[in-house]
Each structure stands twice: as structure tokens, then as C-alpha cells.
Structure 1
Amino acid sequence: MRIFSLISTVITLILLSSCNTGPVLVSTGARHQEFQVYFGTYTQEHDGPSSKSLGIYRSKFDSETGTLTQPRLAAEIESPSFLALHPSKQFLYAVTESKEGTVSSFSIGSSGSLTKINTKSTNGSAPCDLEVNPTGQMLVVANYHSGSTIAYAITEDGSLSNPTTFLNHEGSSVHKRQKSSHAHSVDFTPSSGHVIVSDLGTDKVMTMEVNPTTATIRLSSEISLAPGSGPRHFAFHPSGKFGYSLGELASTVTVMSHVSGKLKTIETLSTLPDGFVGHNTTAEIAVHSSGRFMYVSNRGHDSIAVFSVDTTSGRLSLTEVISSGGIRPRNFSIDPTGRYMLVAHRDSDNVVVFTIDQQTGVLYPTGSEIEIDAPVCVQFLELTS
């Protein structure tokens, strides 16, 4: 009896030990799903190696195996550096990041194919981000080089109207890249009543009041971050109570409280490990759908910083900083199941797949990756059965 008890104890300890050597993946019992993944790219040299890309590419992602099919060209278009989906999942929008910026609308076929609907000027230079409001009535675009924000109405067929609002931003700050305004991202609040504009050039995060009926926006309030921060992207907590501003130039993330479009700073943390002294800029930020983890990509250190989130206060704790598996991880996206992350590397021409531990948020490389020239945006679309 004692021998049997001893054997049982040993087996239990071995099983418990093995459970802690890898990621905990299954937490929801969700059915097997397949997703279309669209990749935005640079089609020409853009502060980096030359590219042979022709535009937007697409691949299928299997949420059971965590693998991607080989990418294929979905639409030929110049430097579609950022993509946005319509909430109906019927349309996709892409900026052309060029001197004379444009934004294009595409219809999505049943197989994931793209057909261009129309193209509009952004009235600015180097549009770098865009987002559709949650009701699908309007689209907002940020022009980086010219420092402006522009809005359009979206018609029933997915096409874009002529601009409904154009806002030119002014100002500067202390860094050599902050001689003028550089609007870098647009993010609608969870209630969709406001849109947040991050201005890298002025160190300001601006709140715009939204009128979805007229598809117009107007400045409501703004908050200034530490000089030289360079706010690039912004992410909301799923609760809507907190927001996170990514400082590209300072490699920081600033935690903010959020009430009806009004933001207030809580704390600022570094995205880098202690002791790192090389050059680095941050690129992307995302909060996990559980609200318990947050992620940031570092370019230079070439890593993903993983934070745990206090869901009561919104405050962050750095969990780990892990190699991203390539050079200059400009963008990443968490799949809709919350179990995987795809990281796009502009300068090493690859997209790397990670699993996400559902208990800790820690990332584990799966060993799966695909090659794409200069990938800079990842956008998931669930395929209909």
C-alpha cells in the first residue's frame, strides 16, 4: 500500500512539473476556427531595405495548429502600410503611405479575395493609420508627415465619400524628429463617441468628438506627455476604463484613466529590460482580450515586451521581454481566439507565430513562420463556414 502511494505521488509530481514547462493554451473550449490574415507591406524602400512586395497579401491561419499558409497577393497597391476592417467584415480599407497619400476601399469576396471599390486622397503626406468607427459609418485617417487628420463617410457599398472633416495640427517638441506635428494613429473609444489621435511630433494625445451621422470630428480635449515621448499608437483596455499610450521615441508606455473621452495620466513605464543601452523605438501596442495582459514591440532591441495588467487600477507590471524572432517588429496582432500572436518584421521579411499562455500572458515561439517582403501590418478576418 505504501509502495502504491509512493508511486502515485511520484507520477503526480512528474505531471505537475510537465504542466509548467510550456504555455497553457486552451481556456475557452472554442471550436476550431480558420481565419483569413491580410498583410500590409511596403512596396518600395522606406527607411530600410528595398522591397519586392506588390501590395496586400493574404494567408489562412489555422487556430488549431497555429500555422499559416503561404501568402498570396490579394491586391496590387502602393505601400499599404496599414489596414482596417469594416465591422460588417465585408470591406477592407488601406492607406497608401506616399508623398501624396491616398486611402482605398476594397470589397471582400467569400474566399477572402479583394476587389477595389474606390480611392480618395488623404489631402496629406504619408498616411500611416486608419480606423473605421464601431458602427461602420465613417473612417478616420492620420497623415504622418503633414500632421493632419481626415474623416470620410462610408456608404452602403463600402465606398468612401469625399472628406467630411480635415484638421491640420500644429506644434513641435524637443526631439530631432519633433520639429512639427506628426499625427501617427487614430483609435475610436469603446463607446465610439470619441476618437483618440496620437501626435508623435507634439507629444500630445488629442480627443476628438465624433458625430457618426455626419461622419465629422472636432477637437474636444488634449493631454501632453513628457517631452520627447513621441506618442505613436494607443490601445484601450477592454473595460474602457483605461488607455495606454505608446511612446515611440522614449520606448515607454503611459497608463491613463479614461472617462467619456477624457484622459488622465497614471504612470509611465519603460518597454525595455534593465541595462539595455542601444538604440530603440517602439512600434505596436495591444491589450489582450482578457484584459489581463498587454504587449509592445521594440525595434532595435527586436523584442516583444509582455506586461501583466491590474484590471482594477490599470497599472502594469513587466513580465518578460522576449526576442521577436526577426528584425524590426513593426506590427503584430493577436488572433481572435486570444491564443496566438503574429509578429511582422519589416527588415527580415518574415511573420513569426507565438502562442500566448492563457494564465500568464507569456509568449512562446511555435517555430512556425512565413516569408513576406517588408510586412508592416497584420489584420485577421474570421472565415464564414
Structure 2
Amino acid sequence: MYYSPLRLALGGLGLVTSSALATNLYVSSYSGDITSLRLSQSDNGSYALAVVATNRGSAPSPAWLEKEPGKGVVYCMDEGLPVPNGSISSYRTSPCGELTLIDRHTTISGPVSSVVYNKGKAMAAAHYGGSAVTTWNILPTGGLSPLQNFTFKLSAPGTNPGRQDAPHPHEAIVDPTDSFIIVPDLGADLLRVFSIDPATSALTPSKSFSTPPGSGPRHGAFSVSGCADIKNQECLASKADTYFFVVSEISNNVTSYKVTYGNKTLDFTEVFTTGIYGNQTTPVGAAAGEALISPDNKFLLTSSRNATLFSIPNFDSTNSTKIPSDTLQSWSIDHTTGKLSFRQSAPAGGSFPRQFSVNQKGTLVAVGLQLSSRVVIMERNPSDGTFGKFVAEVGVTGDVTSVIWDE
């Protein structure tokens, strides 16, 4: 492991910062590194973001980081772009931000997303390049052991042959009841559904749901009406309505579905769809990216890439050159219908906001800007769901693929 000299300054940070906020974040990039950041806040309220440690050569092309809340383990999906296979690694976290490798497994190529399920007993991964879904047992050490492999094929290319030459599972998502895994498949225009065996963590394929031809579903998120915490079992038992929101990369749409639970099956009924830019025309070449539900379950937050609708002041105050910026979007959720109302289009802080994440309070957003090789921190108003000003930023080596909070 390589340690940044800034790590040595942590003690100094303690002399000038308040204990109100000192948070670690982890960043993956195609440089092969996992970078640890420290976000601190001074007594006057200003923020600073610094690199505190770097795992050099963690894998050829880390694409996704996953951390279960309350657990001291980070999982890294390595896409394996320059090599035949991908890999999945687990790391032990530490208060100072250092990561220690627990184990690493070679796997089917192209893992780009993962999710912990079955009460923390297992993990599922979506493999874009390998046209697959894999599952893994989570060991008491935080390590992994292989459980299942599911591979998929197309009988013919999809509506967009350049993007839909094969199945391309893009994200693994667990439903609020922890009973199903849903995998948006960009290449096959499907929401693949798997039921979970709580005794063994094994998945069983269920009926898939077809999205519009050529839409290319990429990422999604669940919301449960009337539940401030969608994992609150008491709320879920009240039979509140469940909705699933899908961001489709090729069609650049956001779609709401009402979810109906059956016997080891899920059904999806479309209730709303719109362009990801809301009240604006979708720019040519745009590529819809992320989809998250706010911590209070009131807002859907999305991103779009390759369309620089904003020009923002340079983060370097001595540089007058403005920065072209792609966008984040905020949507309020009507829990009686599942429909969305467009709230805001905001600058993401640079180019290609492939992934972003929100802190537990919903007050800060960390954005990974792939082509800007940068992570920015921006304020967010939990009351109205809107994004605010940029409060900190730091450059990261390579194309940034994900950034997560350690809270």
C-alpha cells in the first residue's frame, strides 16, 4: 500500500478542525487504485477534502465499491478491462482511512455493481462485460466464497446493436423486503428478477420483466410509500405501496413502476416515464447514469453524462478558466401514485458523473467525475431535495468510477 503524505497531516487537521465532521470516503478509479479521502470541517464551517491513503494497483480496473452500513468491510468490483477475467476483493476499513486486503477472487469478467443481501450473509454482483450475475457467501472474516454463477445470451442483437450486442447486466439491487434481487440488463432490455432463499442465500431466477425495446435499463432504486426508512419491517408489514424507479441509459428516460409481490415473483406496472432532463430537451449524446433514493425516501436523485449544460467557476481560484459540467437531477416522489415531479437540474462539478452517493443525513453529496478525475462534495437541502453549492473537491488519479461514504 502507498500512503499519501497528506495522511501524516491528519494530526494537524485535528488542530484546526471541529469534531462535528470528520468522515472517510473511498474512491475507485480505472487507474487501478482505491483512494481514501478524509472530509473535515473547520470551526468556521468550511470543508476540506484530502487524500489520506491509496491502495496502489488494487486491481486493473476497479469499477464499484460497496460497504454495508455499520460493517467495517469494503467490497471492490474489478471490471478486468485489460485482462480476461474480473475480480472481487474485500478490504478491512480503519478509522484513519487505510484499507487492508482480506481476500480477492477471480471471477467472470466485467463486474460493475454489487449489493449485500439476506441480512448481510451474501452478495450479488452484476457483470456487464461477462453477461452474468454471480453470488457470494460473506464469511465471518469479511471475506467471500463463491456461491452461484448465472450467464445469459441473446438470440439476436437488440434494437441498438452497438450497445445491445449481448446481455449487459448493469446493477444488482435488493428489494426492500430482502426477498428479491433485481438486475437491470442494458443489453437485453430486461429487469431480471431472482428470489432469495433465506436459508442458503441461493438465488432462483424468476420471471423477467421487459422494458421498452432499445431503452437500455442501467440503474434503479426502490421506494416504499409512507416509510422514512424503506428497510423498516414494521412499515413494510403495513402493505404500503412499493415503487421501482429505473434510469435507462440508451433512451435517457426515468420510469416509475408499481411493484406487485407474488409467490417468489415480482410484477412491474408502469405508472410514469419522462426524459431524464425533466423539462429540458435531452441533448444529443447524453447518457443517463445513476439512480438513488434520498435517505428520507422522499426524492429520487439521478445523473446524466456526456452533456455539459453548465459552465462553473474553476475550483482553483487563481484559474479563470471555467469548468464544463454535466448534470445531476432531483425528483420528488408522489407516494400515492409513484409519479415523479422534476425539481432541479444542477451542475455535477465536471465531466461524466458516473456515480454519486449521499451521506446518511442527506445533507452532503459526493460525486465521482469519471473524465474529470475528481471527487466533489456538494451541499444538499433535505427539505426540498435540491442540490446546493460545492464545498470541497480533490483530484484523484485515473477515471473515477465510484465514491462511497464510510459512516
1:118 matched to which residue of 2?
103
- Provide the C-alpha distance between the structure 2 equivalents of 1:266 and 1:297, rounded to a whole number of angstroms: 21
Is 1:358 the counterpart of 2:382? The answer is: yes
1:159-170 correspondence runs (5 A): 159-161=143-145, 163-170=146-153
Q: 1:217: how far off?
A: 0.8
Structure 1 pair 276–221 and aligned structure 2 pair: CA distance change class (3 A): closer
- Separation in structure 1 between the aligned mates of residue 257 and residue 40 of structure 2, nearest angstrom: 35
Q: Is the CA contact (8 Å cut-off) linking 2:52 and 2:97 kept in structure 1? A: no
Provide closer, same or farther for how the CA distance between residues 168 and 145 of structure 1 changes in structure 2, counting only shifts above 3 A.
same
Change (3 A) 1:66 1:121: farther
**Matches of 1:212 and 1:103 in 2, distance apart?**
23
Question: Does residue 71 in structure 1 map to residue 59 in structure 2?
Answer: no
Tell me which residue corresponds to 1:216. 202
Aligned 8 A contact 1:87 1:134 in 2: no
- Taking the TM superposition and a 5 Å limit, the aligned residue runs for 1:65-144 are 65=45, 67-76=47-56, 77-78=58-59, 79-98=61-80, 99-122=84-107, 124-133=108-117, 135-144=119-128
CA separation in 2, counterparts of 1:185 and 1:148?
Answer: 11
Matched, 1:291 2:306: no
Cα distance between partner residues in 2 of 1:262 and 1:348:
39
Per the alignment, in what secondary structure is the counterpart of residue 251 of structure 2?
A: coil
Instruction: Give the CA RMSD over aligned residues.
Output: 1.9
Residue 120 of structure 1 deviates from its aligned partner by: 1.2
Contact 1:131 1:188 in 2 (8 A): yes
Q: Tell me which amino acid in the other structure corresponds to 1:333.
A: S
1:298 shift after superposition = 0.7
Q: TM-score scaled by structure 2? A: 0.79
Change (3 A) 1:212 1:111: farther
Q: Conserved in 1, the CA contact under 8 Å of 2:63 and 2:401?
A: yes
Distance 1:249 1:42, change over 3 A: same
How far residue 97 of structure 1 moved from its aligned partner, in angstroms, is 0.9
- Number of equivalences: 340
Kindly state the Cα deviation for residue 169 of structure 1 after the two structures are TM-superposed: 1.7
For structure 1, the 5+ residue unaligned runs are: 1-30, 44-53
Q: How far, CA to CA, are the matches of 1:194 and 1:233 in structure 2? A: 16
Task: Give the Cα separation in 2 of the matches to 1:194 and 1:275.
Answer: 35
1:11 is matched with which residue? none
- 2 CA distance for matches of 1:86 and 1:267? 31
Amino acid across the alignment from 2:251 = A
**How far did 1:338 drift?**
0.5
For residue 146 of structure 1, what is the aligned residue in structure 2? Answer: 130
Question: Deviations for 1:18-61, whole angstroms, at most 9, x for unmatched residues?
Answer: xxxxxxxxxxxxx9343211111111xxxxxxxxxx41111122
Secondary structure in structure 1 of the residue aligned to 2:170: strand
> 1:378 and 2:403 equivalent?
yes
Partner SS for 2:20 = coil
Cα displacement (A) at 1:194: 0.7
Q: Decide which structure has the larger Cα Rg and report it.
A: 1
Tell me the residue number matched to 1:262. 267
> Can you list the C-alpha shifts for 1:117-163, whole angstroms capped at 9, x where unaligned?
111122x22111111116110011111112100001111111111x2
1:67-117 superposed Cα distances (whole Å, 9 cap, x missing partner): 343123342312221011134412111011114111011112243321111
Q: What's 2:243 paired with? A: 242
Structure 1 residue corresponding to 2:29, chosen from 38, 41, 46: 41
CA contact (8 A) 2:192 2:208 kept: yes
Distance of 2:255 and 2:52 partners within structure 1: 38
More divergent stretch after superposition (304-313 vs 202-211): 304-313
- Spell out, residue by residue over 1:332-372, the C-alpha distance to the aligned partner (whole angstroms, 9 max, x if none): 11111101111111111111222112222111123421111
Residue of structure 2 in register with 1:233 after alignment: 219
3-state SS, counterpart of residue 289 of structure 1: coil
Residues 225, 151 of structure 1: CA spacing in aligned structure 2 closer, same or farther, 3 A cutoff?
A: same
C-alpha distance in structure 2 between counterparts of 1:86 and 1:135, whole Å: 10
Q: Which amino acid aligns with 1:364?
A: G
Specify the alignment match of 1:46 in structure 2. Answer: none
Structure 1 residue 317 displacement after superposition: 1.1
For 1:57, the aligned partner's letter is: T
Matched, 1:336 2:360: yes
Contact conserved, 2:93 with 2:99, CA < 8 A, in 1?
yes
Asked if 2 retains the 8 angstrom alpha-carbon contact of 1:85 and 1:91, the reply is yes
Contact 1:66 1:353 in 2 (8 A): no
Q: Distance in 1 between matches of 2:335 and 2:369?
A: 30
Identify the range of structure 1 (124-133 vs 264-273) with the bigger mean alpha-carbon deviation.
Answer: 264-273
Percent identity, aligned pairs only, is 24
1:183–1:198 CA contact under 8 A, matched in 2 = yes
Equivalence for 2:321: none
CA distance in 2, matches of 1:63, 1:318: 32
Q: Does structure 1 conserve the Cα–Cα contact (< 8 Å) formed by 2:276 and 2:282?
A: no
TM-aligned CA deviation for residue 379 of structure 1: 1.0
Q: TM-score, normalised by structure 1?
A: 0.83
SS in structure 1 opposite 2:159? Answer: coil
Matched residue, 1:194: 180
My pick for the range that moved more, 174-183 or 131-140, is: 131-140
User: Mean alpha-carbon deviation: is it higher for 331-340 or for 111-120?
Assistant: 111-120
Q: How does 1:317-336 map to 2 (within 5 A)?
A: 317-336=341-360
- Matched residue, 1:307: 331
Tell me which of the two structures has the higher relative contact order, counting C-alpha pairs closer than 8 angstroms and 6 or more residues apart.
1
Separation (CA, whole Å) in 1 of partners of 2:250 and 2:68: 31
Contact 2:46 2:391 in 1 (8 A): no
AA matched with 2:39: F
